[in-house]
Amino acid sequence: MTSSLSTTEGEQPTNTPSTTEGGEQSPTTPTPVDTTAAAATPAGPCPPPWTLVDGHCYRHVSLGAPADFAAADGQCGLLAAGGRLASLHTARQLEFCWHHPSRPAAQQWVGLELFIIVIPPATEFRNSADGSRPDIAHLEELIEGDPAGWCLSLPADRGAGRLLRTSGLTRLSAAVCERPAG
């Protein structure tokens, strides 16, 4: 004699009586269903509350205490292995930073800082983690704020379409963090 579990989408498994070799139905004993295993397994490559955007996991966070650029980067590292201030490689990633519902109404650090290029002489904002250039059209046109600032942040007014040049020594109470997907 055997029993089988049957389910329909969105329902808990139920026991279905099986039949014996003689064709008679036999009662079954209810089998316990372990729902904790499924709940503990993260869905997709980014566990909650992280959000997958173009192959990277992002999260808006409120910092325990206001932190400068380097300290905020360190706090992102405490949230997850490989965590850091958010690198912005694509326009979609920047859109996530601007528009995600979890974004606080506070100025936030992102992981872009000013790099000085020696030959040819130039300056440009790049991702602090790896020095890569963001592939965001007209990035320089989105930047405003302190001309002496060497880091970028999101404005407190949740305004889309802008990034603020900010001194890396400024202490902010929020950040956008990134961690590896997977």
Positive or negative: CA dihedral 140, 141, 142, 146: positive
Domain covering 51-180: architecture: Roll (3.10)
End-to-end CA distance of the chain: 42
Total Cβ atoms within 10 A of residue 6? 9
Mean pLDDT (whole number) for 55-72: 95
- Coil vs helix vs strand at 14: strand
The answer to whether residues 108 and 176 touch, using CB atoms and an 8 Å cutoff, is: yes
* Confidence at residue 46, expressed as pLDDT on a 0 to 100 scale: 94
Residue type, 125: F
Quick one: tokens of 137?
């059209």
For 123-174, write each residue's pLDDT tens digit.
889 999 989 999 998 898 999 998 889 999 999 987 667 899 999 999 999 9
For 3-51, write each residue's pLDDT tens digit.
332 323 333 333 334 444 455 544 433 322 222 222 223 457 999 999 9
Mean pLDDT (whole number) for 63-76: 96
Give the distance, in angstroms, between the CA of residue 38 and the centroid of all CA atoms in the same chain: 21
**Integer Cα distance of 88 and 96 in angstroms:** 10
* Confidence at residue 122, expressed as pLDDT on a 0 to 100 scale: 76
**Integer Cα distance of 14 and 146 in angstroms:** 64
